[in-house]
Every structure is written in C-alpha cells, then in structure tokens.
Amino acid sequence: MAGILTEQNPGKGYVFTYDQAYLDSGGNPVSVTLPLRQASYESENMFPFFVNLLPEGANRTVICRNYRIDEDDFFGILTVMSGQDFIGAVNVKEL
C-alpha cells in the first residue's frame, strides 16, 4: 500500500498521505506531482493523478448511471471502481 486518499467532506477537499511503511521501503512516488514525503497533501480539488485514472466518455457515463453517481463525483467513481483494473501500476482499494 502506497498511501491513503480521503475525501474530507463530499466534494469539498481531499487528502493524500503516504503510508509510513511505503516511505521506509524506498518505493517510488505514485506521481511526479505527489513526491514522497511524510506530510499529507491537501487540495480542494481531486488530485489530477487520481482523476486521470478514471474512465472517460461513454464508459464513465455507463458507470455513473449504473451506480447513480454524478459524473463529476470523482471520489465516488474511484470508490465504486475500487478493486478493478486501472491503467498503470496503481490499484485503488476501499478500506
């Protein structure tokens, strides 16, 4: 596990924190925009790295209709897709 992404209040802020064991292992950062550090990253908007993991176009529309999620609810889409195969070396799992 590289870290934990949390939504502060629905759509009102996000925090990404690297797991200490991951930092100690010398793993690579999940993104160049999220370099390794102990301090948490905080943002009012979803971090672009995670947004770019999401499906686009018709695929996003189908997923959002099936799960009754707003297409702009990036955290909600990530949550329902947890455990699915994402592009690249990153997996998303709900705790």
pLDDT digits (tens, 9 = 90+) for 1-59: 899 999 987 767 999 999 999 999 998 999 999 999 999 999 999 999 998 888 889 98
Q: What is the pLDDT of residue 91?
A: 72
Cβ–Cβ < 8 Å for 63, 78 = no
Rg, the chain, Cα only: 14
How far is the C-alpha of 61 from the C-alpha of 10, rounded, in Å?
A: 20
0.75 exceeded by pTM: yes
Which structure tokens are listed for 45? 């908007």
Q: What is the pLDDT of residue 16?
A: 94
Q: What is the pLDDT of residue 24?
A: 95
